[in-house]
Structure 1
Amino acid sequence: MSALIATRPSPAERLADLAVQALIDEADLSPKPGLVDRRGSGAHSDLHLGLMHTSAQSLWPAFAAMADAARAEGEVSQALRETLGQLGRDGEAEMLRVTAGVNTHRGAIWALGLLSASATLEPDAAADGIAMTAAALARLEDPAAPHNPDSHGARVCRRYGVLGAREQAQHGFPAVIEHGLPQLLASRRAGAGEQNARLDALLAIMSQLTDTCVLHRAGLEGLERM
C-alpha cells in the first residue's frame, strides 16, 4: 500500500501564493472609491469581482516562474531582466485569455513579478530593500518589451510630465514604501482593525500618487479631487 507523502511548497510557490492572495485581498477590500470591490464594479464597466479573482488565480504560474528564474540566476542581471519580461508577457497572455481580453492585472504583473523575483534574491531583506532590488531590475532595459507611445499611460505621462507605473518601480515603489506601508503599520498599531488599516494605506497612496489612469479619465481636476 502506497502512502501519500505531503510535500512542502517551494519558496517560489510560496511567493506565488502570496502574490495571488494579495491580488484577491485587494479586490475584496471594501469600500474602495471608484474601484472594484464587494459592493460592485466602481468606475469600471468591464470589470467585476469574480473576474478579478479569476484573473489573479491565472497569474500564479507566472509569479512562480519569475521567482524560480531569480533563484536560478542568483543576482540582478540583464539576463534575468529579459527572462522576467518574457515570463510577464506570457502571464499577461494567459490573463487576457481567461478574461476574454479585459486588462485586469497588467500593472500587477509588472509590480508583483519584480517583487517576487526580488524577494527571492533578497530573502532576508526588509520591504525597502526588496523594493530597491526590484528597482535595480526595473531600470534594466528589456529589448523585447513592446513600446506603445500611443497608450493611455504614455500619452498622460508626456502631457502632464508625471511618472507612471514603470517609473514607480524604477524608483523603488515610493508611493508604497514612503506612504502606504507606514500608514498601514501606524493604523495597525492604533488598533484600527485590519480592513480599516488596509483602507487607510490605500488612501495614503491615493493622496500622493499621480495616478495615470485617473489623469486619463478625469484630467488634473480629477487627480486633485482624488
Structure 2
Amino acid sequence: MSSREDETLARAAVAALTGQLALAPKPGLPDPRDLGVPARQDHRTLRWSAKALAPGLAAMAAAARRTGEPTPRLRAELGAIGRSTEHTVGLAGGGHRGALWILGFLVAAAAIAPRAEAAEVTAVAKRIAAHTERGAPRRPSRGSSISAKYGAAGARGEARAGFPHVRRASDALAAARSAGATEEQARLDALLTVMSTLQDTELLYAAGPVGLRHVQAGARAVLEAGGTATGAGQEALHALDADLDARGWSPRGSAGLLAGALFLDALPVTAPLPVTSPLPAA
C-alpha cells in the first residue's frame, strides 16, 4: 500500500502531465484547441486518461521507497507495475505510454532520494534504468524497433543516459523565466528545446530521418527567432504548428519529456499534514 508521500509524488507527476497538455499552441501535439473541433477529441481523452496514471505511479513510488536503492529487483517491479498501468490507462482512453515510463522512473527516483535536487533525481533514475528488466516482454516494441533501425536512443536510451532532454528542458525553463517570459512561454520554449534535438522515434516512424530533421529545424527556427516571448518567435511557432498539422506529424516523445521536466520543477513535494482535532479545553 502506498503512503501519503507516494500519493503526493504521483499527483505531482499527473499535474505535470496535465500541465503539458494545457499548453497551446503545441506544434503537432494535442492541445486545448482540439476541444472546439468535433473531429479532434484527442486532447479531451488524453486529459481524462492522464488521471488513470496516478495509482500506478504511486505504486512505483511505494516500491522504490520500500526497496530504498536502484536494484535489479526494483527495476523488475517497476516494469510489472508499468505494464499493468498501461492496461488501466488503455481502458480510460489510452495514450501516455512514453510519459508513463519517464514519470515512473523519475517518481521512483524521487521516492528513493526525497528532497534531492533535480540533478540527483535524474542520476538515481539513470541507475534504475541501467538494470536490464528480466521480466520484460521478448517481443520488441515499435519504439525499440525504430531505435534499432535508425540508431536513435529512444525512450530506453534516454532513461539510461539520465534523461538529458529532461535536463535540457529544465534549463530552458529557467532561462526563459529569467528572461521575463510568461510561464506558458517558458514551457513552450522548453518543449521546442527538446524538439530541436530529440531523435523522436514516433517522428522517425511516421516521417523518417528527413521528416525528423525538418521538425528539428522548425523548432530551432522558433528559438533562434527569440523564442515564443517575441513576435518573430510567435510567427515561427504558428508556421511550424500549421506545417505539422498539415503533414500529420506528431513529436509525441518531446511532450513526455517536457512533462518529466515539469515534474522535476515541482520538487520537492511534501504530503499534506494530517488534520488534527484541537485539544480539549482544560
Q: Taking structure 2 as the reference length, what is the TM-score of the superposition?
A: 0.71
Unpaired segments ≥5 residues, structure 2: 216-282
* Aligned residue type for 1:218: A
RMSD (Å) for aligned C-alpha atoms: 1.6
- Secondary structure of 2:32's partner? coil
Structural mapping, 1:15-54, within 5 Å: 15-40=9-34, 48-54=42-48
Q: Structure 1 residues 98 and 66, CA, compared in 2 at 3 Å: closer, same or farther?
A: same
Match of 1:148 in 2: 139
1:114 and 2:105 aligned: yes
Amino acid in structure 2 at the alignment position of 1:175: H
- What is the CA-CA distance between 1:47 and the residue it aligns to? 6.0
Q: How far off its partner does 1:128 sit?
A: 1.4
Residue 111 (structure 1) shift: 0.8
Shift of 1:124: 2.5
In the other structure, the counterpart of 1:218 is: 207
Deviation of 1:72 after TM superposition, in Å, equals 1.0
Q: Which one has more relative contact order, counting CA pairs under 8 Å at least 6 apart?
A: 2
Specify the alignment match of 2:178 in structure 1.
189
Q: String of CA shifts for 1:188-225, please: whole Å, max 9, x gaps.
A: 11110000000000000000101111111111111111
Which residue does 2:195 correspond to in 1? 206
The SS at the match of 1:76 is: coil
Q: Answer yes or no: is the 8 Å Cα contact 2:34–2:40 preserved in 1.
A: no
Secondary structure at 2:116's aligned position in 1?
A: coil
CA offsets per residue over residues 120-148 of structure 1, 9 Å max, x none?
A: 11113211110111111111111111133
Any residues of structure 2 matched to 1:123-162 within 5 Å, and which?
123-149=114-140, 151-162=141-152
Residues 34 and 41, structure 2, Cα contact 8 Å, conserved in 1: no
How many pairs were matched up? 210
Pair 1:62-2:52 in alignment = no
User: Could you say which residue in structure 1 is the equivalent of 2:271?
Assistant: none
Q: Separation in 2 of the partners of 1:96 and 1:106?
A: 9
Q: Deviations over 1:12-69 (max 9, x none)?
A: 111011011111111111110000001128xxx8861111112110111001111111
Preserved CA contact (<8 Å) 1:148 1:154: no
Q: Would you identify which runs of 4 or more consecutive aligned residues in structure 1 move more than 2 Å?
A: none
TM-score, normalising length: structure 1 = 0.88
| More off after superposition, 32-41 vs 17-26 | 32-41
Residue 92 of structure 1 corresponds to which residue in structure 2? 86
Provide the rounded CA distance (Å) in 1 between the counterparts of 2:65 and 2:151.
Answer: 37
Match of 2:158 among 168, 186, 199: 168
Identity of aligned residues (%): 42
Structure 1: 5+ residue stretches without partners: 1-8
Q: Indicate the residue corresponding to 1:3 in structure 2.
A: none
Q: Which amino acid aligns with 1:33?
A: P
- Separation (CA, whole Å) in 2 of partners of 1:121 and 1:201: 27
